[in-house]
Amino acid sequence: MRQPDRAPSIAYPEVDQAVAFHAELGKRLGATEWGPVNEPRLRSALDRAKDAVTHQRGDIISIAAFMFFGLVRDQPFGKGSTETGLALTLAFLLRHGVAIEAEDEDLAGISLGTAEGQVFAGMIEMWMRECAAPAGS
C-alpha cells in the first residue's frame, strides 16, 4: 500500500497567511469586530498540524484534524476562531485534493463541539475520514 503524503509535498499555512485568511473571512462574513490575533496560540495550532507528520500517521486527514482542533480549541483569534478554523481547514484539504462532504449542521456541530471541549482531535479525524471525498467529485 502506498504511504500517505508526507511533509515535503504538503503546503502548510504560515502564520501570516492564516492571519490574512482570518481577516478576509471576517470581511466576507460582515464581522465588524473580528478581534486581535494571539500569535503564539496561532503558531502553536499550526505547528500541531505539522507535528502530526512526525508523531502520528501524518496523512492529509490526520494533519487537517490536528489543524482544525488547534485552531478551534486554542482560539487564537479574538473572535472568529471557530469560523476561521473550519474555513482554513476546508481550504487546506481542498488544496490537497480532499473535499469534506457534510451538511452545514454537521459542520456547525463539529465546530461548536470542538470549541466547547466536547470533541477532540481523534474524533475530528474519524469524522473527516467518513466525510472525505476526492475534490471535484
pLDDT at 7: 44
Confirm whether 106 is domain-assigned: yes
Rounded CA separation 102/79 (Å): 24
Confirm whether 117 is domain-assigned: yes
Owning domain of residue 61: 37-134
CATH number for 85:
1.20.120.1870
Confirm whether 21 is domain-assigned: no
Confirm whether 15 is domain-assigned: no
Can you give the pLDDT of all 137 residues of the chain as single tens digits?
334 444 448 899 999 999 999 999 999 999 888 778 999 999 999 998 888 777 666 799 999 999 999 999 999 998 999 999 999 999 999 999 999 999 999 999 999 999 999 999 999 999 999 999 999 86
Half-sphere CA count of 64, side-chain side, radius 13 A: 27
Confirm whether 66 is domain-assigned: yes
Rounded CA separation 48/69 (Å): 9
pLDDT at 13: 96
Rounded CA separation 67/45 (Å): 6
DSSP 117: T
pTM of the model: 0.90
Number of separate domains in the chain? 1
Its sign, for the CA torsion 67, 73, 83, 104, is positive
pLDDT at 2: 37
Q: What is the DSSP string of 15-71?
A: HHHHHHHHHHHHHHTT-S----B-HHHHHHHHHHHHHHHHHS---HHHHHHHHHHHH
Rounded CA separation 18/95 (Å): 14
